[in-house]
Amino acid sequence: MHVIRLRKPWQKTAADGIVLRVDVPEPPHDFDVTRDDESVGVVDYERRFNSPTGLDATVRVYLRIDGWEGELVDVHLNDRSLVSDVDSLQLRIDITDWVLSANRLVIRLNANDQITDPRLSGEVTLAIE
């Protein structure tokens, strides 16, 4: 198995429209976010990547998301919804059939009762098996 870490650059778009460049995993913020803050709510993490080289018909490509805070609402690859409303704290999706030469990955998180500042707290990787 070969693992490609999708660390940076990520673009994070908050509910208030502010766009930030972040690394993933994103460390916790050292400031408090309250429910009254209009930046609280849905955040989109977007990253572009090229197809791994050397893929053949016997190889599978998996997207792994190893942790997040808040609710994972949706995962899109090249405008295709892969999964929505995930209950577990880790995710592994076979994306072999949807990987293109140039790819756009969007992970949407939402605040919940416990987490007011949703973030990707674990690694996002491609596992080639």
pLDDT at 79 over 80: yes
Please check whether residue 10 is in contact with residue 23, taking contact to mean a CB–CB distance below 8 angstroms.
yes
Judge if pTM exceeds 0.85.
yes
Q: pLDDT higher for 112 or 22?
A: 22
pLDDT, position 32: 53
Question: Can you list the domains of the chain with their CATH numbers?
Answer: 2-128 (2.60.120.260)
- CA dist 129 and 120 (Å) reads 24
**Sheet architecture: strand order including 124-128:** 2-5, 124-128, 61-65, 91-94
pLDDT at 35 over 60: no
**Sheet architecture: strand order including 10-13:** 19-22, 10-13, 43-50, 102-110, 71-77, 80-86
How do residues 3-24 score in pLDDT, each as one tens digit? 999 999 999 999 889 999 999 9
Q: Which residue from 53, 54, 76 is spatially nearest to 63, judged by alpha carbons?
A: 76
